[in-house]
Structure formats: structure tokens, C-alpha cells
């Protein structure tokens, strides 16, 4: 295990040295992003910040607690969290990538499983499934029904590569006292 870590460290260092000697900033940025994802399993982000995942860029515009959403009221002892997100396809491929409500989930220290958004029931909500094409930008809302007794909460997205290997997990810590 130590030997594998040493090999990875040497490879990363060699890549940085190679990039430092080139004058192609795009290549340098791509390598820096790849190394950062390899080193950091979880990348904390802020609302309003645009981040680049493997397949798309995304910005979480807002996260707020709402009493109801389009007539939907939370079940007893639950709250509704409204999340607004914008995504732009950044992969250069002829085929769009499948996206949907299964990509973004809420996590807490008390959850045994992740909580996913409610099934869409109006046109502003993220569809259960949709295709995101290169250069296409979409904006959607996701509404989560969360227990009132949650001590901590994070909105998360875990990226997977084309070989179904887990890469970085992006997370936004949600301060429930400020919602």
C-alpha cells in the first residue's frame, strides 16, 4: 500500500514538473484539477460558486428553507429545502450525458441513507432523468423533505468517471440556523 502511494506521489510530481516546463495553461489547469480531485475525496464548496465536475460545470444558486413548494407541504416533523442549481455540459462528445435527481443528494450524520429530491411535480423542478448536451445550460429546482431534528446537513454530488470509478465528492455544508 505504501509503495502504491509513493508511485502515485512520484507520478503527480513528475506531471507537475512537466507542466511547469510547458507554456500551455489549459493543460496545466486540467492536470491541477485532476490532482486536486485525486488528493481530496471531498471538495467543500459554497453557494454561488461555480465548480467544474468531470462532465459539467455547476452552480448552486440558493439553498433555502420553505414552508411549502407549489402547494406541497412537508410531512409532520419535516421541513422543505429548496435548492436552485444551474448546470452546463462541458464534455466534448457527440452524445449527451444522462442527468437527473439521482445525482444530487442530502446527507447527515443521522441518515442511514441519502435523501434525494422529491419527484418533480412542476416544470421548474429537475426532471427525474434528462440528457445534458455539450454546451447546454439548464437551471432547475430540487426540493428535499428533511426531518426537523437533523443536527447537520450537506448537499452532495459524487462524480463517477466513464469506468464507474468514484472521483471527487462535492459538498455544501448547510447551516440550518441560517435558513
DSSP string, 102-124: TSEEEE-TT-SS-BPPPPP-STT
- Quick one: what percent of the chain has pLDDT higher than 90? 66
Compute the distance between CA of residue 172 and CA of residue 43 in angstroms, rounded to an integer.
9
Answer whether residue 15 shows pLDDT above 80.
no
- pLDDT class for 65, splitting at 50, 70, 90? very high
Q: Provide the percentage of residues in the chain whose pLDDT is more than 70.
A: 78
Among 125, 144, 155, 129, residue whose Cα is nearest residue 80 = 144
Quick: pLDDT tens for 25-51: 444 554 554 454 444 579 999 999 999
User: Residue 21's pLDDT is what?
Assistant: 47
Say whether pLDDT at 6 is over 70: no
Instruction: Report pLDDT for 177.
Output: 87
pTM score above 0.85: no
The grid cell for 102 is: 439521482
Q: Is residue 156 a contact partner of residue 169, using CB atoms and an 8 Å limit?
A: yes
Q: Which of 177, 146, 151 is nearest to 77 (CA)?
A: 146
Cβ(80)–Cβ(66) below 8 Å: yes
Q: What is the pLDDT of residues 115-126, one digit of tens each?
A: 999 999 999 999
What pLDDT is recorded for position 142? 98
Helix 25-39 / helix 2-20 crossing angle, nearest 10 deg? 160
Q: What is the pLDDT of residue 161?
A: 82
Q: Confirm if 68 and 62 have CB atoms less than 8 A apart.
A: no
Segment 104-110 shows an average pLDDT of: 95
Strand ranges across the sheet with 56-66: 50-52, 56-66, 78-89, 137-147
Amino acid at each position: 500500500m505504501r509503495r502504491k502511494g509513493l508511485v502515485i506521489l512520484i507520478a503527480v510530481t513528475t506531471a507537475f514538473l512537466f507542466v511547469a516546463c510547458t507554456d500551455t495553461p489549459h493543460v496545466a489547469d486540467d492536470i491541477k484539477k485532476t490532482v486536486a480531485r485525486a488528493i481530496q475525496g471531498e471538495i467543500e464548496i459554497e453557494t454561488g460558486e461555480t465548480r467544474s465536475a468531470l462532465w459539467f460545470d455547476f452552480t448552486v444558486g440558493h439553498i433555502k428553507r420553505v414552508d411549502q413548494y407549489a402547494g406541497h407541504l412537508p410531512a409532520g416533523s419535516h421541513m422543505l429545502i429548496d435548492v436552485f442549481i444551474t448546470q452546463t455540459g462541458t464534455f466534448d462528445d457527440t452524445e449527451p450525458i444522462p442527468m437527473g435527481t439521482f445525482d444530487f443528494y442530502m446527507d447527515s450524520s443521522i441518515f442511514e441513507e441519502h435523501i434525494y429530491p422529491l419527484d418533480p411535480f412542476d416544470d421548474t423542478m429537475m426532471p427525474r432523468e434528462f440528457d445534458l448536451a455539450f454546451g447546454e445550460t439548464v437551471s432547475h429546482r430540487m426540493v428535499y423533505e428533511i426531518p426537523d431534528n437533523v443536527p447537520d446537513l450537506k448537499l452532495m454530488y459524487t462524480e463517477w468517471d466513464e469506468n464507474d470509478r468514484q472521483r471527487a465528492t462535492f459538498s455544501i455544508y448547510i447551516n440550518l440556523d441560517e435558513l
